[in-house]
Amino acid sequence: MNQPSNTSLSPVTQALSFLARQTGQDETQLLSRALRLGLDLLYRQAVEQAFIEGELSRAEALLILGAARVQEIEYAQQALAQDVARGLEL
């Protein structure tokens, strides 16, 4: 039997309903998990930006982001600086 159309539901409500059906978890558990994951992502993005802008020490960034991510950021910064230097030489 076809399920009712969810076209009138918001994307968030549709996603939540789908996840509840697929995982068997109730919506409260899913919302709690989504909030934790979302806050973690936002926190890490803010830490990365603070590190890039020099507002956060490398030691603090290492504790929060881990060595691999800090090295990726440093590599990207060096590559950008080299590209800019090459561009100025042209």
Residues 15-35 have pLDDT tens digits of: 999 999 999 999 999 999 999
Residue 7 confidence class, pLDDT cut points 50, 70, 90: low
Quick: pLDDT tens for 53-78: 999 999 999 999 999 999 999 999 99
Q: Where are the domains of the chain?
A: 11-89
pTM of this structure:
0.75
3-state secondary structure the chain: CCCCCCCCCCHHHHHHHHHHHHHCCCHHHHHHHHHHHHHHHHHHHHHHHHHHCCCCCHHHHHHHHCHHHHHHHHHHHHHHHHHHHHHHHC
Residue-level pLDDT at 1: 45
Mean residue pLDDT of the chain comes to 92
- Helix pair angle (67-89, 58-65), 10° resolution: 130
